[in-house]
Amino acid sequence: MSMAEYERKKAAAAESPDRALKKVPEDVLSELVDLKSAAKGAAEDFAVAIEAAAEKHGMPKAALARYVTARCGDRLAKLTAEVEATQMLLGLE
């Protein structure tokens, strides 16, 4: 998500003085709590899996996590450009 998209969503979600507040139903709150708990568990599982795979393959875990995150978010082109620029700065081109 671009910064502009983030700002638009943030602005759209902002409370408006002319918008009436409504109580969030308990079933909706419960579902949101369950989703947040699942997301936390998944993040922890991801961290453990990254650490194990990085150790097994002799790869720095930060590099592996960054690559997987970029691949998941369809941002490999951006990561590749950053890596190429870093290689040039380090004289590794």
Secondary structure of residue 47 in the 3-state scheme: helix
> Cα–Cα distance between 74 and 67 in angstroms, integer?
10
**Cα-based angle 93, 74, 34 (whole degrees, multiple of 5):** 135
**Residue 5, pLDDT score:** 74
Domains of the chain, residue spans: 23-90
pTM of the model: 0.68
pLDDT per residue, tens digit, the chain (93 aa), is 677 777 777 776 666 667 888 999 999 999 999 999 999 999 999 999 999 999 999 999 999 999 999 999 999 999 999 999 999 999 997
User: Could you give the residue ranges of the DSSP H alpha helices within the chain?
Assistant: 3-13, 26-57, 61-72, 76-90
